[in-house]
Amino acid sequence: MRTLVLVVVLSICGCADQGSSSQPLDGVVVVGVLPDQSPEGLRARFGELIEHLKAETGLEIVLMIPSDYDDMLNRFAAGRMHLGNFGAVTYLQAEQRSGAVPLVMRDVDLQFTSCYLIGSDEPRSSVAEFEGGRLAFGPELSTSGHLMPRHFMNIDAINPETFFSELRHADAHDQTAEWVRDGVVDIGVANCNIINAMFADGRLSDSDVRVLETTPPFANYVWAMQPSLDRALVISLRDAFLALDANIESHAEMLKALGAGGYLPASRDDLDDVRNAIESAGLLATEGAR
């Protein structure tokens, strides 16, 4: 039986090779994760998952971190990344551009939320009271740090460009939180999963910042793969994710780090709410889209 080697290159930079095939070369499968927080945080968060995948599949695993959201999309389009943990918006762009196919989602990813953060001593009690203030979004292609919060603001008749005196885009969700903590902005919006983890591990303190509001729920992160991957490899990886069980002590710690209770099979339909929102925002073509 042929042994496949799964390698995720530990890197935070590098340009896509447009001549690469989307099939693994020499049994090497490259896996990437969305760079939505610091590389150090991502390595800590996904390290145990990589070890689990190695144990369950017999694949050799390391980790690749793209330099930014566009880099992740370019690597996937060029066939230099075969499996990736995408946010909903980047997944939908990869789906349209490269035919990305959903594999699994965390159990929490169909009911995802974004958190509005303010200073702990800030007396205002709603986003609507921050007219004229300084707002920080996350990266422009971030589902939970930008696109869905903007979508919900528009529903509430808030145009960020005119409602706030200043708009900034952080490079990652943890930076948004730090900007609020340090007084760089008056209010910031970020991935609630990451914010809760920052409170839990001490990177944030409730003496410095607090959650003002959360958005309505939406679908977010999804593990997606190249459409041409070998079926046996796909099944092996899928089953390794689905084998994670919160009732097993070692799995429970791993799932806690990942902000999940377990993994579920994913389908294109799971992302329809975000698909509709970003089509309205002009980020996806409405005709001919996959």
CATH 3.40.190.10 assigned to domain 114-214? The reply is yes
Predicted local distance difference test score (pLDDT) of residue 23: 59
Predicted local distance difference test score (pLDDT) of residue 57: 81
Express each pLDDT in 205-234 by its tens digit: 999 999 999 999 999 999 999 999 889 989
Predicted local distance difference test score (pLDDT) of residue 175: 97
Residue 25's pLDDT band (cuts 50, 70, 90): low
The residue extents of the domains of the chain are: 5-110+220-280, 114-214
Assessment of whether the complete model's pTM goes beyond 0.85: no
Residue 247's pLDDT band (cuts 50, 70, 90): very high
Do the domains at 5-110+220-280 and 114-214 have one common CATH topology? Answer: yes
pLDDT at 4 over 80: no
Cα(275)–Cα(117) distance, rounded to whole angstroms? 26
CATH of domain 5-110+220-280: 3.40.190.10
